[in-house]
Structure 1
Amino acid sequence: MADAESHCNRLLVAAMDFGTTYSGYAFSFPGKPLDIHNNPNWNAGSEKLISLKNPTCVLLKPNEEFHSFGFEAENKYCDLAEDDEHHGWYFFRRFKMALYETDNLTTATTIDDIAGKKMSALTVFTHAVRYLKDHLLNTLDNRDNNASINDIQFVITVPAIWDEKAKQFMRLAATSAGIKNDQLIIALEPEAASVWCQVETDNNQNVLSKPGYKYMVVDLGGGTADITVHQKMIDGNLTEIHKATGGAWGGNEVDKAYLEMLTKLSGTEAMQEFKATQMIDYFDILRDFETKKRSITSDGDGKVTIKIPISLRELAMKYGVANKNDKDILWTGDKLRIQISLIRQLFDGPIKGLIRHVEDLLSDPKMEDIDAILLVGGFSECQLVNAAFRDAAFNKKLIVPNEPGLAVLKGAVRFGHLPDIVSVRVSRYAYGREIWPDFDQTKHDVSKRSVQLGKPICEEVFYKIVSVGEEIPYGKEIKTTGSAFHIDQTIATIVLYSSLQENPMYVTSPGCEFLGIVRFTLPKGKILEDKNHTILLTFGDTELKVRVIIDKTKKEVETSLQCLQN
């Protein structure tokens, strides 16, 4: 496989890295797949931050129509708040984590805006994807490219630790935003970063492209840490050798700790009024800290100077809690002088949780021969994160590529050209379907006993199709069979479940969760066997796919997996 190869048959590949904190897009053409064009720089307006990505923020008008996205949305909402005209507007920021944190995600799931007003999560996500899509099309027009939306292979990134519901939610948002289903590929974020780092030319990471080399990819974003383990194969493809894992150890946890520190310092009432009346200053605090936190090192003593709007100090004085200066924190005018040890403590939660998790992964005997740890994502640019990995004594080579915050985005473009480059994936769950076999009193719970057509059966039995940790080649279809209950049955329903437990007995067992429903029409028949069918499930891709074939006619019936309930 040549590095410049492309399997894309469209005019170009365009990827959207839809992040918790920042989002962006990039694209390249099949003739030059590695010549990746990033979206233009976005400016915060306050000139405190210029970025190749835009904040993941959506502003909607009081009538719920879209107004703006990113820095423009932040600045407009600030202006509205300054004039006390923001009431009724909807401002959403850092809302991606809702798909990770919501236990029962549905198409009706709602999320809260900055003021606590609820709106359909699907509506908000659709607006965000549509904005990035339209901005991309405008960029292509400005470059005098003759590409229409039908000429584009779209790629949207999602964390590898997301379940099928969250992935399907993003696909639904994309189709609602005007991207056709057959033009969209879902890419897993750590996989995308791994793919990009295969073709980077930095001498430090050339080892990643050596056949047989094994490495852990730690993708550190704003919301989550997303971890997978890859091995480079002789044919140039990548094999996943450990199921994806991770948790909420992203850079946003540091921001939360910082805001908690400021709230404790100024008082809850002052902070609440500050957020409500001084929105420009509030966002300046967040933007300033976003830059500052990347430069905090593990060495040295003394204090760090952080600029704080005078409006917050005035509010703190108003509520009588601004005079808490001590040897560790000095607040004078518009500056905070904070002992650097206290700043480092803000990072303790996510960094310690991440290091413990990596230690647990590496304690697995299967992971003993891992050669390196690859750090990517915006939070990996933090020097404290780098120092924590160096100090952890993992006895592994530590690799941080150039522009680690763009590795996922560029890799997603590369993945769009070579969607089969990850040749083997490891299942995170045990997958199975619900069946109702004959009741066996020696192994079945009597509470599950029922009678169907005069015969005792056992309800809600978990029939395993894929095991936890099972290696599944790309594109492999796993077969399971089905039949009708009676000759007049016209609709078949297959209910799929997932579990972190290896062998759940029932679909109601602890840890077993609804995955999705497959419904399809059964053919007419003279005998029951005419309705027998084969279900083909593809688990080796970034999304679970399903096909159903009637055994007698060998014809495929129209169906799909519905993970999201209304």
Structure 2
Amino acid sequence: MGNNQDKPLTEHTSHSNRAPSRRETHTSSDVSLKNDDFKDMAVSGKKANRPSDIPFKSDDFTNMAVSGKRKRSSYLVVAAFDFGTTYSGYAMSFRDNPLNIITNQSWIAGSEKLISLKTPTCVLLKPNKEFHSFGFEAENKYSDLSLDDEHHGWLLFRRFKMKLHNTEGLSRDTTVEDVNGNSMPAMTIFSMSLRYLRDHFVESLEKKTLGVTETDVQYVITVPAIWDDRAKQFMREAAVMSGMESSRLLLALEPEAASIWCQVVTTQEEQILAGVGSKYIVVDLGGGTADISVHEKQPSGQLKELHKASGGPWGGSYVDNNYISCLTNIFGKATIDRFKKEQMADFIDLHREFETKKRGIRFDTEGKVTFKVYVAMMDIFKDIESHSLQESIENVGLSGKITITGDKLRVDSSVVKSWFDGPVDSMICHVKDILSEPKMKDVKLMLLVGGFGESQYVQNRMVKEFGSKYVIIPEEAGLAVLKGAVRFGHDPDIMSARVMQYTYGIRILLPYDEFLHPSRKLKVVNGEKKAKDVFDKFVTVGSEIPVGYKVTKRKTPNDMNRTFIPVFRASSDAPYFTTDQGCTEIGFLVINHPEGKSLQDKVFDVTFTFGDTELFVEAKMLHSEREFSLTIDCLK
């Protein structure tokens, strides 16, 4: 960038009152990159070199809210993928009958002979690290290999989606571990999973229809509403690597999707939600996370978000983890590790059995609950340990609460329910905090959805804790997100407004004022005193933003070839400097402008569009009138 790097860019504001169409505006992975480009990015983490500081000078800038309407989907088919922590599945419907949702009926759970509407989120790789299978097929194949002692070198990845929950340090080089601790790039594992689901869907579509091709499909992938920009970009890039065209891909927020579906369900309870003015809290409990939103039904038929999405890692998989921890306390870590390594078939069956058992646990369950103890686990324990199992039970303080008779583990219901209490207590406390806010006083309804929301214990607890609310649990609560995502794909404008999770802005220079600005922020530019690192705010955390809210900045570059714009977010509503506590640089824009012979020929408008499920950015070169989409590169 030469010596011009620290010169301020001049800017002013203009507005457009047209929201970008879904086919015109792209995000994270839309800078004319092909699948091969993303593959290279995933492996090497390459990105453009950037200067350390490209400040902007603030002249006149105002915000303007524009709630532009988008057209309904013009695609013949919408296919939605619910890519979950523990289970995944897909559903579809056709444009001429969008509410006739077709779910895949052919997931078969192998040894259990169980036909399921979802399949486990797990991937099996061959020893050469090529994809072999996904879901029940992957678990069953690995089990068979384990029984024949031929599983060595094979890699089985399970429950890896939670890698995107804590995104600090998330990059294209982030890795996930298989059941034996072997690492692979997370981007590779995610894209393999999505490719399998996509291919499975396309094969099913071709069998059902004539004259419909893959290019007639609008894809939708569900993501937790609490995910940040970094995690959403990661998922989008993985989807593009899997073969989904980015311009035909939407991300749907999971609690929103469930809420959208329950607007059209015809049972009496769900019809209450569809009344104009209805305000309700959506509690979406999945395998990994609890995702919580608050919605209001508008006279237009749209939904408006009333509270920023929130939640935490309080999903059903943590109950499973507590069960395994209990077994580890009794049998010892060495026994469980060896059992898992040598008897993977039994270890997978153990998880499947527990999944079935935990669904039947109620808040008023009494007596003991019976679980199977595998002979191999008992034999390994006897081989490793010198004391008896009864002594182990006494040592962990569970004497009288747990007994072992033959191949049966009998666990007191109080112990089993305690495995639920950690995640459920955290979730209930969080929901109570939300409902205690003054602006939430009119929220009288609660919608409980998600796979973990089907747990009888969870349902009992929610009704008990929120007796003053009308708790609605739709039939097939675990499919509400998936079906709603299909409807969202047909009508993405069904959400009219969302509440910002963060304050967003960019870094600029202002005239230095010794009474306002600390001396450490003084910077001399072309002989003028400037205050550096000033946070130029676009939108404010907690504010209600209509879908299509635009902020446009006009800039004169100081470099002939390209401009870098760092983008920041803050957890507070009024950050002053981008270095304030709680401020984070989420990524940066790269604007290439080779056209023109002077800097004035390269003046451009950059427009940020808020209020959607992702942050969209577009640019327009004023001299050449070239328009193009931009990516905020959030992945390191």
Say yes or no: TM over 0.5.
yes
In 2, Cα distance between equivalents of 1:445 and 1:209: 53
1:87/1:457 Cα in 2 relative to 1: closer, same or farther (>3 Å)? farther
1:119 corresponding residue in structure 2: 184
Q: Does 1:503 align with 2:568?
A: no
Structure 1's 59 and 300: CA in aligned 2 closer, same or farther, altered over 3 A?
closer
| Aligned counterpart for 2:516 among listed residues 440, 443, 463 | 443
Are positions 1:558 and 2:628 aligned together? yes
**Would you say 1:460 and 2:536 are equivalent positions?**
no
Q: Does 1:55 align with 2:128?
A: no
Q: What is the deviation of 1:227?
A: 0.7
TM-score by length of 2: 0.85
Distance 2:596 2:90 in 1: 52
Q: CA deviation at 1:421?
A: 0.4
Aligned partner letter, 2:115: I
Q: 1:364 is matched with which residue: 415, 437, 440? A: 437
Map 1:129-148 → 2, pairs under 5 A: 129-148=194-213
| Alpha-carbon offset, residue 151 of structure 1 | 1.0
- Is 1:45 aligned to 2:110, yes or no? yes
**Structure 1 pair 459–489 and aligned structure 2 pair: CA distance change class (3 A):** farther
Deviations 1:30-64 (Å, cap 9, x if unpaired)? Answer: 11111111012312212174321010001111221
Q: Is residue 2:227 matched to residue 1:162?
A: yes
Contact 2:260-2:484 at 8 Å conserved across structures: yes
* Segment drifting more, 250-259 vs 40-49: 40-49
C-alpha distance in structure 2 between counterparts of 1:531 and 1:84, whole Å: 65
User: Deviations 1:433-452 (Å, cap 9, x if unpaired)?
Assistant: 11233333322233333333
> 2:299 aligned to 229, 234, 241, which one?
234
**Deviation per CA, 1:284-323, whole angstroms, max 9, x where unpaired?**
1111111111110111421111122222122222223423
Match for 1:385: what amino acid? V
Report which stretch shifted further, 291-300 or 25-34. Answer: 291-300
**Alignment check: 8 A CA contact 2:229 2:634 kept:** no
**Partner Cα distance (2:258, 2:402) in 1:** 39
Partners in 2 of 1:56 and 1:334 — Cα distance?
29
RMSD: 1.8
Work out whether residues 48 and 288 of structure 1, in 8 Å CA contact, stay in contact via their aligned partners in 2.
Answer: no
**Pair 1:305 & 2:370 matched:** yes
Instruction: Check if 1:322 corresponds to 2:322.
Output: no
Following superposition, the deviation at residue 528 of structure 1 comes to 6.0
Equivalent-residue separation in structure 1 for 2:105 and 2:210 (angstroms)? 16
Q: Which residue of 1 aligns with 2:130?
A: 65
Does 2:480 match 1:410? no
Contact 2:156–2:179 under 8 Å retained in 1: yes
Partner of 1:249: 314
Instruction: Give me the whole-angstrom Cα distance separating, in 1, the residues matched to 2:98 and 2:83.
Output: 21
| 8 A contact 1:310–1:333 mirrored in 2 | no
The aligned counterpart of 2:589 is 518
Q: Which residue of 2 aligns with 1:347?
A: 420
- Pairwise CA distance, 1:525: 6.6
In structure 1, give the amino acid aligned to 2:243: G
Q: Greater relative contact order (Cα 8 A, min sep 6): structure 1 or 2?
A: 2
Q: Do 2:81 and 2:220's aligned partners in 1 also have CA atoms closer than 8 Å?
A: yes
Of the structure 1 ranges 323-332 and 239-248, higher mean CA displacement relative to structure 2 is found in 323-332
User: Aligned equivalents of 1:37 and 1:300: distance in 2?
Assistant: 36
Instruction: Rate the CA distance shift 1:394–1:82 in 2: closer, same or farther, 3 A.
Output: same
Greater mean deviation of Cα atoms: 384-393 or 442-451: 442-451
Aligned to 2:608: 537
Instruction: State the shift of 1:390 in Å.
Output: 1.2
- Mapped contact 2:587–2:634 kept (Cα < 8 A): yes
Answer whether contact 2:602 2:623 (CA < 8 A) is retained.
no
* Contact 2:551–2:607, Cα closer than 8 Å, also in 1: yes
Deviates more, 1:397-406 or 1:265-274: 265-274
Give the distance between the partners of 2:497 and 2:522, measured in 1 at CA: 40
Cα offsets for 1:176-235 (capped at 9, x unmatched): 111111111110101100000000111111111100000111110000000111111111
1:390 and 2:463 are equivalent in the alignment: yes
Report the counterpart of residue 149 of structure 1 in structure 2: 214
Once the two structures are superposed, residues 502-522 of structure 1 have per-residue CA deviations (whole angstroms, 9 ceiling, x without a partner) of: 122222222212222112134
Shift of 1:556: 4.3
Compute the displacement of 1:483 (Å): 3.1
Q: Partner of 1:292 in structure 2?
A: 357
CA drift at 1:87: 2.6
The aligned amino acid for 1:432 is: G
Matches of 2:192 and 2:314, distance apart in 1: 27
SS at match of 1:469: coil
> What secondary structure is seen at the aligned counterpart in 2 of 1:347?
helix
| One-letter amino acid of the counterpart of residue 78, structure 1 | S
Which range is displaced more, 355-364 or 379-388? 379-388
List aligned pairs for 1:29-40, cutoff 5 A.
29-40=94-105
Match of 1:473 among 546, 568, 575: 546
Is the deviation greater in 444-453 or in 512-521? 444-453
* Mean Cα deviation higher: 93-102 or 404-413: 93-102
Matched, 1:178 2:251: no
CA distance in 1, matches of 2:99, 2:596: 54
Aligned counterpart, 1:3: none
Q: What residue ranges of structure 2 are gaps of 5+ in the alignment?
A: 1-70, 394-398
Q: Distance in 2 between matches of 1:168 and 1:234?
A: 33
Residues 382-412 of structure 1: CA deviation (Å, up to 9, x unaligned): 1111111111135111000000000000001
Note if contact 2:564-2:589 (Cα within 8 Å) is conserved in structure 1. yes
Amino acid at match of 1:376: V
Letter in 2 for 1:213: S
Q: Does 1:432 align with 2:492?
A: no
2 CA distance for matches of 1:529 and 1:364?
A: 51
Comparing 385-394 with 204-213, which one deviates more in the overlay? 385-394
Q: Does 84-93 or 452-461 show the bigger shift?
A: 452-461
Deviation at 1:172, TM superposition (A): 0.7
Distance in 2 of aligned mates of 1:347 and 1:231? 31
The alignment status of 1:268 with 2:333, answered yes or no, reads yes
Whether contact under 8 Å (1:164, 1:563) holds in the other structure is no
CA 1:336–1:349 in structure 2 vs 1: closer, same or farther (change >3 Å)?
same
Over 3 Å counting, the alpha-carbon distance change for 1:463 and 1:471 in structure 2 is same
Following superposition, the deviation at residue 531 of structure 1 comes to: 4.4
The residue type paired with residue 175 of structure 1 is: V
Cα distance in 2 for partners of 1:306, 1:505 equals: 57
The one-letter amino acid of 1:384's match is Y
Q: What TM-score does the superposition give when structure 1 sets the normalisation length?
A: 0.95
**Residue 48 of structure 1 contacts residue 287 of structure 1 at CA under 8 Å; is this kept in 2?**
no
Residues 251-305 of structure 1: per-residue CA shift (max 9 Å, x gap): 0110110100011111111111100001011011111111111110111421111
Residue number in structure 2 paired with 1:26: 91
Mean CA deviation greater in 164-173 or 401-410: 164-173
Residues in 1 aligned to 2:232 and 2:351: alpha-carbon distance in whole angstroms: 29
Query: CA–CA distance in 1 between the matches of 2:242 and 2:626?
Result: 29
CA distance in 2, matches of 1:454, 1:118: 53
**What amino acid is the match of 2:552?**
K
Amino-acid identity (%) = 48
In structure 2, what is the equivalent of residue 421 of structure 1?
494
Work out the CA distance in 1 between the residues paired with 2:205 and 2:608: 38
Give a deviation string over 1:125-167, Cα, whole Å, max 9, x none.
Answer: 0000000000001111222443221111110000000011111
